[in-house]
Structure 1
Amino acid sequence: MLAKAKLIEQLKIKSLFMIMVVLYLLVCVFSVLAVYQAQNSQHHTLEALALNNQQLENIASKTALLKTNFARLVLKKEGNSRQLAITNTRWYLSFQQPIYLVFTSPLHLFFTLVLFVIGWLVQKKLQEELVIKLKPLRQLERWASVTLMQGSSNALAIDNSSQEIETITLAIRQLQQQINDNAANDIAWDQSIRASALLDQETRIGNRAFFDNRLQALLKEDDAQGAVFLIQFKEIDLVQNLYGYQQAMSLLLTLIQVTKQRLQDQPGYFLARHSDDELSVLIPNVFIKDVEKLADLLLKKLASVVMPVGINQEEFVHIGISYFGAEQVPYQIMSEADMALRAAQLQGPSQWFMFEAGELAVVKAKGSLKWRTLLNAAINGNGFVIFFQPVIASDSAKVLHHEVLSKVKDKNGTLISARVFFPMAQKCGLMVQIDLLILVQVCRMLTAKKAQQNKCSINISIDSLLSVGFAEKFISILSSFPEVKDQLMIEISEYQLVNHLSKLQPTLAALSTAGVKIIADKVGQYVVSARYINIYPIYAMKLHRSIVIDIDKKIENQVFIQSLKTLAAAKNIPVYALGVEKQAEWRALLQLGIKGGQGHFFTEPVAQAVQAIALD
């Protein structure tokens, strides 16, 4: 299809050509008519002379007339000539055809040449003028073609040299502005919809739906792997209560910015607000070693943010991590991250936690409701199994006491370790019931097998120790088993002993008076003051496994043990080591004067077949 400007140009040239042709034809017609008129005039002149046949014969024989080659006197008709009869004679006046005479005339040939030259010059001039006049129209056509090819309109730059083109371009520009305004409104509306649907309105980062969408999309990719971080800021609500909404939101935005800065080297990460005081981070295509390093750095950065006065800096940040592959589903991943977060919170101070590979293989990640159902069923149906792991004396290899470890059975009979179910029991508010149930089971076990089991230590959660009336319930149960009350010890994390010093003191004093011995557990896991040994009636101290691992190679840990042993010796408190795995470690611990050791180097925990025990 020809362009409009090209079509106009062709029409103009064609019009010029038609004019020239018409002019030429008119000249030819009038020339032929003139020749006709001249021939007729000569015929009339000859007839006016009224010559007879003899006279006409004499005229025909004259050379002068014959050389004119314009008219001849002949006695018979000729097919290719124009012949006019002379009245009252047998003679004809013969002429060449007028059309032949015109088109063979030199004058006519000259006229034709001149007309062709003039027509060519006029055409050139007309084309030059059309190029100038049609330039805006050509620009408009090019703009329209580019717009059709690109699917969007560009800026219209046209030379408005004519009133018509100026009117057209003005109308187009107005339409363009309306289209752009409508498109901008549509984009703004779309962004508004997306923001309301996928962005947290307070922090302007992704919301929970945004995060879930990204996680689902990632899991559909081939060989997908990555990690989910659940980051909880424990006392944001307290900041708001003490200092107001603006201060709390300012602190949260600062923490978000710190998180972004730490994650900026991670390509393709997604950050969202999971709840009021929780952030969720999705990091795709990352290896587990990199996840551990990133968790350390992120925790360090977040813990360095200055908290307002009255906010516990040491327990402000907890991170739960779930490392996943393509075979997992979003619900399982998020549940595992939530379980890891509860495990981190259970430890106390700011830290991160991630279950080891395969640790959750025996139990599918569950939400809070399913965990509550499982744990309530275990409580009501005596679904807890207790294990005993001995603490071995360093000087005689005798058993000093046994630590009680517990697991819970699910509906399929699979045993779930305390490391997995304790955090969820704490979240569901069931720790008090579980601790008291395990206490009853241990007391009955010691009563039934008193000769085999000597002293036992039970891990008691901080939730139970801080709950109202727990000490009374504990002592009441002990009173039902008077023969074993002197054999019971409870283990409490050193960090909790320091962090809840004033709150725990009455409870531990009451238990100690009732004959229960107190063991400070996980000593050395965090850097805290050991002055608690001057406040609590501490019976023994048990080193955290992080101090014991490769103790034969770690001079700094050996120095720590020597310093701790000096403090404990002043109070006549023995120090035990937890997590002894190798002979070299045990040999180094003996040289450092440790009084007892516990771990797989000595024996695996011994499972006790616990029968269904009623609490009546």
Structure 2
Amino acid sequence: MVKLTSSSPVVLLSLLYLITVIITGASLLLWFNNQILLASLLTFVLLAIIVTIYLLHKKVIPKYKRYLVVENWAYLANICHEYQDLVGQDVIARMVNRLVTKGRDVDNIDSMIDKGIRSKILLDEDTGLGNREFFDHRLDALLKEEGIQGAVYFIHFNEGELVYTLHGRTAVTQIFNQVIASINMLLHKLSGCYLTRRGTYELALIAPGVYITEAEQLAQRMIKTLSSIALPIGVERDSFVHIGVSYFSQAENSYQIKSEADMALRSAQLQGPSQWFMFEPGEVEHVRAKGSLQWRTFLEKAIARNAFVLFFQPVLAATNEKSLHHEVLAKVRDEDGQLINARVFLPMAVKSGVIKEVDFLVLSQVCRLLNYDRHLTESCSLNLSIESLLSKNLLGKFKEILVRYPKISSQLIVEISEYHLVNEYLQLKPVLSQLQSLGIRLFIDKVGQYIESVDYLKECPISAIKLHASIVINIHQRSENQIFVKSLVKICQSQQVDIYAFGVECAEEWRTLKKLGVNGGQGHYFTEPMSQVAKAIHQP
């Protein structure tokens, strides 16, 4: 059955033929009646119509016939629900038949289109990896599997913006491709892993089925491998990559897992150079999942109502194990009254931009306590962030406090991370000198966590240093750590600087440390866990 349209060129052609006959007849009558002018005019009109008819036959009618063929083919396909080949050798017939052939190779044209749309939505164009939405979908689906466990890694590249500024987008893509290839090499023995691009300079990895020790080992291997990637000129290698790890089970929800991984990433970045971080099992279980904005709101409210609680851990002398001073450890109460560890909330305070307010509030609280509690005759040390130490109003804040509490300056000790001291030395050196002039002692902590020069002992007014826990743990079984501590003790003795060990956990470690010549120690070997017996003071 052929279905023709009403607007057919054939109708126009028929009308032109009829008009031609009429004009021809009229023209002949005029010639016979000697009306030459009108007869000549009609003759010109007749010639124009004849030319039009010729063009219609030559150009329009063949195309119209092809149109009719295609229209009829489509009409019949709609009725029969099947596409048939067109008979003919012209261009349209060949092209239609080619399209039909391709269409027959696809089971479902709609699914093909849908697949294309999905790939655009869920894939990163530069790397070909799944994007943030893909990561969220995979994690949600994984958590529905029975008995699932595994680890989520947030891998952030700190120098990405600098690479883009100095070398452009192509250089960023090249580095990402190197990183992806390196990570995939590490994953070749693990099944079911998903590597995705979570942000402009951040990857996310889901490693299902791994145990916690395997998760830690994978993080360590990634740091080692990614730190050796060749970087463009002008890009700092030491702090190139940080990794936050969240170990999860089926009982957790995806938002909690991502929030913990993000907090772990901020903790790794807070430490300084390239490294990974993972909270201890159960350390953040009671902490409600929060985004950056929620953390900022929570911390601002905590600052406003002074919801910070102070804990004190003693540092004991190696000679008689009497208390030398106490380190102040701060925690914050959440909406349920639970205490959140500083390892959890401090990185988020840095990210939220309120770390200076937190530091100064804790400092004021410690000073007020030292002034009014006459039982606290010993000194107290507290860690200040690099943001607070480099802030313009740091000295003004200390002077303001000491005017209010003039008797406590000799009891105040400020602890500074060795990494930050070395990397911000020129800016920190005058600050440290001014703090000392106010009567405040200075300690350097986390010594030995990274390979750093201790030349600062000769140039800065340092009273003591604290060994990092990684140097102290199992030191009785590690000869290389013993050699490091012994050489450090000699340097400290020559500069009249005390050396303390942080993180002492057993008697064997303590005996070895005393033999090596440390002046004091701090850790759970001397005191039970802080949450149970440490003296906690909350001042509303």
CA deviations 1:449-506 (Å, max 9, x no partner) are 2343411101111121123322322332233211101110111111111121112222
Q: Which residue of 2 aligns with 1:587?
A: 511
Q: Which residue of 1 aligns with 2:486?
A: 562
Tell me by how many angstroms 1:398 deviates.
2.2
Q: Which residue of 2 aligns with 1:498?
A: 422
The CA distance in 1 between the partners of 2:374 and 2:506, in whole Å, is 31
Judge conservation of contact 2:436–2:461 (CA < 8 Å) in 1. Answer: yes
After superposition, the Cα gap between the structure-2 partners of 1:558 and 1:190, relative to the gap in structure 1 and judged at 3 Å, is same
1:536 aligned onto 2:498 = no
Tell me by how many angstroms 1:227 deviates.
0.8
The CA distance in 2 between the partners of 1:412 and 1:610, in whole Å, is 16
The 5 Å alignment of 1:571-586 reads 571-586=495-510
Choose which of 238, 241, 254 in structure 1 pairs with 2:162. 238
1:521 aligned onto 2:445 = yes
The CA distance in 2 between the partners of 1:574 and 1:403, in whole Å, is 15
Tell me by how many angstroms 1:180 deviates.
3.9
Aligned residue for 1:221, secondary structure, equals coil
Tell me by how many angstroms 1:172 deviates.
12
After superposition, the Cα gap between the structure-2 partners of 1:469 and 1:611, relative to the gap in structure 1 and judged at 3 Å, is closer
Segment of structure 1 superposing worse, 427-436 or 184-193:
184-193
Across the aligned residues of Structure 1 and Structure 2, the Cα RMSD in angstroms comes to 2.3
Judge conservation of contact 1:299–1:352 (CA < 8 Å) in 2. Answer: yes
Aligned residue for 1:471, secondary structure, equals helix
Tell me by how many angstroms 1:534 deviates.
2.1
Aligned residue for 1:361, secondary structure, equals coil
Aligned residue for 2:246, secondary structure, equals strand
Q: Which residue of 2 aligns with 1:129?
A: none
Choose which of 215, 220, 223 in structure 1 pairs with 2:147. 223
Choose which of 251, 255, 275 in structure 2 pairs with 1:327. 251
Q: Which residue of 2 aligns with 1:472?
A: 396
Q: Which residue of 2 aligns with 1:272?
A: 196
After superposition, the Cα gap between the structure-2 partners of 1:269 and 1:442, relative to the gap in structure 1 and judged at 3 Å, is same
CA deviations 1:290-317 (Å, max 9, x no partner) are 1111111111111111222222211110
Aligned residue for 2:487, secondary structure, equals helix
Q: Which residue of 1 aligns with 2:7?
A: none
Judge conservation of contact 2:466–2:500 (CA < 8 Å) in 1. Answer: yes
Aligned residue for 2:465, secondary structure, equals strand
The CA distance in 1 between the partners of 2:313 and 2:474, in whole Å, is 21
Task: Look up the equivalent residue of 1:574 and give its one-letter code.
Answer: D
The CA distance in 1 between the partners of 2:431 and 2:157, in whole Å, is 29
Judge conservation of contact 1:436–1:474 (CA < 8 Å) in 2. Answer: no
Tell me by how many angstroms 1:173 deviates.
7.7
Tell me by how many angstroms 1:550 deviates.
1.6
Judge conservation of contact 1:263–1:269 (CA < 8 Å) in 2. Answer: yes
Tell me by how many angstroms 1:342 deviates.
0.5
The CA distance in 2 between the partners of 1:583 and 1:200, in whole Å, is 54
Segment of structure 1 superposing worse, 539-548 or 176-185:
176-185
Task: Look up the equivalent residue of 2:424 and give its one-letter code.
Answer: H
Judge conservation of contact 1:336–1:366 (CA < 8 Å) in 2. Answer: no
Structure 2 portions without partners, runs of 5+ = 1-82, 84-93
Q: Which residue of 1 aligns with 2:72?
A: none
Judge conservation of contact 2:365–2:539 (CA < 8 Å) in 1. Answer: no
The CA distance in 1 between the partners of 2:316 and 2:352, in whole Å, is 36
1:351 aligned onto 2:293 = no
The CA distance in 2 between the partners of 1:174 and 1:503, in whole Å, is 73
1:609 aligned onto 2:537 = yes
CA deviations 1:174-208 (Å, max 9, x no partner) are 68514247769767644431221100122211100
The CA distance in 2 between the partners of 1:174 and 1:313, in whole Å, is 56
The CA distance in 2 between the partners of 1:429 and 1:172, in whole Å, is 64
The CA distance in 2 between the partners of 1:309 and 1:503, in whole Å, is 25
Q: Which residue of 2 aligns with 1:195?
A: 119
Task: Look up the equivalent residue of 1:202 and give its one-letter code.
Answer: D
1:461 aligned onto 2:385 = yes
Q: Normalising by structure 1, what TM-score? A: 0.69
The CA distance in 1 between the partners of 2:200 and 2:330, in whole Å, is 34
After superposition, the Cα gap between the structure-2 partners of 1:253 and 1:178, relative to the gap in structure 1 and judged at 3 Å, is closer
Judge conservation of contact 1:475–1:511 (CA < 8 Å) in 2. Answer: no
The CA distance in 1 between the partners of 2:438 and 2:163, in whole Å, is 40
The 5 Å alignment of 1:62-73 reads none
The CA distance in 1 between the partners of 2:370 and 2:405, in whole Å, is 9
Larger Cα Rg: Structure 1 or Structure 2? 1
After superposition, the Cα gap between the structure-2 partners of 1:200 and 1:454, relative to the gap in structure 1 and judged at 3 Å, is same
Judge conservation of contact 1:402–1:453 (CA < 8 Å) in 2. Answer: no
Tell me by how many angstroms 1:253 deviates.
2.2
Segment of structure 1 superposing worse, 430-439 or 523-532:
523-532
Q: How many residues align?
A: 447
The CA distance in 2 between the partners of 1:330 and 1:561, in whole Å, is 43
After superposition, the Cα gap between the structure-2 partners of 1:502 and 1:309, relative to the gap in structure 1 and judged at 3 Å, is farther
Structure 1 portions without partners, runs of 5+ = 1-152, 154-169
Choose which of 285, 291, 305 in structure 1 pairs with 2:209. 285
The 5 Å alignment of 1:115-194 reads 177-180=101-104, 189-194=113-118
The CA distance in 1 between the partners of 2:277 and 2:205, in whole Å, is 15
The CA distance in 2 between the partners of 1:197 and 1:544, in whole Å, is 46
Aligned residue for 1:315, secondary structure, equals coil
Structure of higher RCO (CA pairs closer than 8 Å, 6+ residues apart): 2
Q: Which residue of 1 aligns with 2:266?
A: 342
Segment of structure 1 superposing worse, 236-245 or 438-447:
236-245
The CA distance in 2 between the partners of 1:456 and 1:174, in whole Å, is 84
